[in-house]
């Protein structure tokens, strides 16, 4: 299908797409609200089955995930999440609404609009007989770093020639090809309690030891290399006149490469060696998501997406982000991935979250055209 024909088709579908989006937004699906997650899958799964996909739900403590498979190789992976950060009752309090060129509601851009776009991109591919090359993963725990679905990514992403994640974009002319990795570390310090006035010499202050560690950890920040360390939550002690026996800290890590993340964890363990006999220090946690690094195969995939964009009158640029998505996991599985190919929006995770309605058609057309061109390229390469 040519670029203008795709734009025309999605323009005809836009009303339907907004109708489906309204359905999804008006269902609470905060992470862990399994009933809402299931209700959304009850809407989406039949649509995929009608297109001939084999579907399977995978239960988890926060709600089921869905994998849908076409029957033909080579495969392209499309992925998105249906969980939001909003509690039960939010959809009733502020349901889907349209004001001017924007749509509002919980999860409207992060990322229920992307899920809708994915479904209709598959419909467009079906019109070309290409949809059976698609594999879909829809997960229910992205907002908490995908602890239950990452095994699905590790199992189902390898073997796919490329992947597209339908997270929202910041502008109509951007896709994301670089994201930092993230670490979540907890430090627990045990000292020795004593009376702060009568016998301070008998005590070992856990707070003092944690303060030493905190200052040392912040020295690890190297913004030029994309490394940041933030001791974000600190607690300790029981009373003003007691040398504190316990102290705890929660630490956020960001890093540009997996090697930097591994080196950062090693330095944290070294820093957390006790400074004096008697202290006990426990370090738990580590890398929660590896980085999405802009490797050569991702650059090559972007070049194909950029060419598709030019056919649609879009001059695409590669964006980077300090935040993470499931694209990080896909890239770590060895699959080239383009992230944030969904529609454009802003103010995610807030009451003012919005979707730019005018971005729905061109961004869906971009994804459909890029995927169809990629599959045509793969078929040509296989035949030669």
DSSP assignment of 16-32 equals: HHHHHHHHHHTS--BTT
- What local confidence, expressed as pLDDT, does residue 235 receive? 98
- Angle at CA 103, nearest 5°, toward 47 and 163? 50
Nearest-angstrom CA–CA distance, 297 and 162: 9
Nearest-angstrom CA–CA distance, 285 and 151: 18
CB 134 within 8 A of CB 163: no
> Tens place of pLDDT for every residue, the chain, 384 residues?
689 999 999 999 999 999 999 999 999 999 999 999 999 999 999 999 999 999 999 999 999 999 999 999 999 999 999 999 999 999 999 999 999 999 999 999 999 999 999 999 999 999 999 999 999 999 999 999 999 999 999 999 999 999 999 999 999 999 999 999 999 999 999 999 999 999 999 999 999 999 999 999 999 999 999 999 999 999 999 999 999 999 999 999 999 999 999 999 999 999 999 999 999 999 999 999 999 999 999 999 999 999 999 999 999 999 999 889 999 999 999 999 999 999 999 999 999 999 999 999 999 999 999 999 999 888 777 666
**How far from 354 is each of 4, 79, 143, 168, CA to CA, in Å?**
27, 21, 18, 11
3-state secondary structure 287-310: EEECCECCCHHHHHHHHHHHHHHH
CA 158: distance to chain centroid?
Answer: 18
The candidate with the shortest Cα–Cα distance to 121, out of 382, 336, 308, 347, is 308
β 102-104/76-81 pair status: unpaired
Domains and CATH numbers, the chain: 3-179+291-383 (3.40.630.10), 181-289 (3.30.70.360)
Backbone angles phi, psi at 88, to 5 degrees: -60, 135
CA 267: distance to chain centroid?
Answer: 27
- What local confidence, expressed as pLDDT, does residue 220 receive? 98
> Which residues sit opposite 224 in a β-bridge?
none
- What local confidence, expressed as pLDDT, does residue 383 receive? 66
- What local confidence, expressed as pLDDT, does residue 1 receive? 63
CB 191 within 8 A of CB 275: no
- What local confidence, expressed as pLDDT, does residue 376 receive? 85
- What local confidence, expressed as pLDDT, does residue 183 receive? 96
- What local confidence, expressed as pLDDT, does residue 194 receive? 98
């Amino acid at each position: 299908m040519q670029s203008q024909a795709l734009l025309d088709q999605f323009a005809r579908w836009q009303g339907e797409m907004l109708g489906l989006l309204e359905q999804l937004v008006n269902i609470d699906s905060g992470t862990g609200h399994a009933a809402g997650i299931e209700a959304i899958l009850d809407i989406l799964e039949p649509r995929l089955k009608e297109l001939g996909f084999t579907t399977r739900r995978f239960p988890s403590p926060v709600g089921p995930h869905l994998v849908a498979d076409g029957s033909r190789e080579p495969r392209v992976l499309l992925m998105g999440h249906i969980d939001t950060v909003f509690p039960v009752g939010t959809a009733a309090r502020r349901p889907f609404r349209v004001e001017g060129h924007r749509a509002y509601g919980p999860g409207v851009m992060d990322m229920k609009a992307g899920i809708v776009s994915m479904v209709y991109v598959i419909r467009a591919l079906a019109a070309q007989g290409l949809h059976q090359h698609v594999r879909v993963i829809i997960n229910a725990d992205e907002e908490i770093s995908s602890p239950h679905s990452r095994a699905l990514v590790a199992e189902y992403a390898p073997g796919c020639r490329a992947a597209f994640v339908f997270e929202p974009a910041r502008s109509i002319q951007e896709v994301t090809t670089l994201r930092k990795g993230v670490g979540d570390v907890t430090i627990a310090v045990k000292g020795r309690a004593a009376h702060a006035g009568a016998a301070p010499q008998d005590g070992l202050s856990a707070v003092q030891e944690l303060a030493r560690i905190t200052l040392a950890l912040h020295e690890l920040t190297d913004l030029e290399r994309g490394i940041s360390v933030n001791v974000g939550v600190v607690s300790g002690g029981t009373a003003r006149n007691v040398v504190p026996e316990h102290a705890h800290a929660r630490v956020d890590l960001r890093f540009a490469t997996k090697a930097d993340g591994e080196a950062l964890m090693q330095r944290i363990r070294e820093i957390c060696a006790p400074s004096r006999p008697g202290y006990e220090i426990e370090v738990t946690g580590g890398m929660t998501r590896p980085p999405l690094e802009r490797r050569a195969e991702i650059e090559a995939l972007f070049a194909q997406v950029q060419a598709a964009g030019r056919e649609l009158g879009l001059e695409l640029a590669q964006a980077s982000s300090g935040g993470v998505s499931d694209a990080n996991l896909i890239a770590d599985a060895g699959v080239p991935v383009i992230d944030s190919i969904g529609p454009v929006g802003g103010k995610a995770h807030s009451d003012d979250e919005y979707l730019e309605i005018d971005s729905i058609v061109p961004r869906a057309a971009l994804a459909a055209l890029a995927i169809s061109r990629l599959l045509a390229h793969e078929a040509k390469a296989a035949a030669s």
